[in-house]
Amino acid sequence: MAIKAGDFIRISYTAKLEDGTVIDATDEEVAKEHGIYNENARYGDIAIVVGEGQVVKGLDEALIGKEVGFKGEVVVPPEKAFGEYDPENKEVVSVTRFKEKPKPGQKVRIGNKIGTVERVIGRRAIIDYNHPLAGKTLIFDVEVKELVEDVAEKVKALFFINTGIDVNVEVKDKKAIVEVPRGAYFVQNFIIGKFTAIHTIFKYLDIDEVDLVEKFTKEEQKSIMEALKEVKSKEAEEERKEKSEEGEKSEEEKEVS
């Protein structure tokens, strides 16, 4: 049976550039072999909803019409990957906006945008806001492993791909009971991603209710309070940085005027 939009499938892939440079892989050994291993990442086959934009557009579209068991190469042009490179999507900022002098290649956040330091000239840094893969053609060696049929597995997959967190799921009638790991509510990706996951569950599955359950015990109270203290400390630091950036930006505007 041909794969169609809305199907839940499990895939594996290796992504590379036209020169053969491997940039991403679902297989841990492949990632290690090519020097892109991330100890914080979870490796293995991933479950996605075809047509939901959970992989780059070109790969998403190419999966439609394929059969389970398909194994082959998919070439994705820039406009269906991370877009064309825009030479105007850059900004010159003062190095005083950073805690330490930035270095070329460093990832930085300016306001609500993330960019890469292109170069530093004196007290000014040129920040490139293009995606690092903008303008690149991507080549995927992909395999469609299976069609995911179990509803609980579908719910679990949606939470992982949207939050990066593994959850336990039980489905009763039309209710999905999702057991959330302790501390998940302190993770920014979960706080935001859970809404996308739930929206997608209602969109594709015959589920009328999603209950999120987070269990705590008295013995765990100390670690919970320590985690909360750490979160508050990070929030205070972020607030301090934002105020500092606003003040420095104001000083820059005065210099220009």
Q: Which residues pair with 12 in a beta bridge?
A: 143
Q: How far apart are CA 209 and CA 62, in angstroms?
A: 33
pLDDT for the residue 222: 63
Report whether 153 contacts 204 (CB < 8 A): no
In this structure, which CATH number among 3.30.1460, 1.10.3470, 2.40.10, 2.160.20 belongs to the domain 90-128? 2.40.10
185: exposed, middle or buried (Cβ count in 10 Å: 0-12, 13-18, 19+): middle
Domain 1-83+135-149, CATH 3.40.50.460 — does that match?
A: no
Collapsed DSSP state (helix, strand, coil) of residue 171: strand
Q: How far apart are CA 213 and CA 194, in angstroms?
A: 13
Query: Which of the residues in the chain have pLDDT under 70?
Result: 219-224, 242-257
pLDDT for the residue 182: 78
Handedness of CA 76, 80, 82, 86 (dihedral sign): positive
pLDDT for the residue 256: 40
pTM score, whole prediction = 0.77
pLDDT for the residue 232: 79
* Domain residue ranges of the chain, discontinuous segments joined by +: 1-83+135-149, 90-128, 218-256
pLDDT for the residue 184: 84
Report whether 123 contacts 142 (CB < 8 A): no
pLDDT for the residue 257: 40
Tokens, residue 143: 């395999």
Cα–Cα nearest to 27, from 50, 9, 45, 10? 45
Vertex 76 angle, CA 74 and 82, to 5°: 140
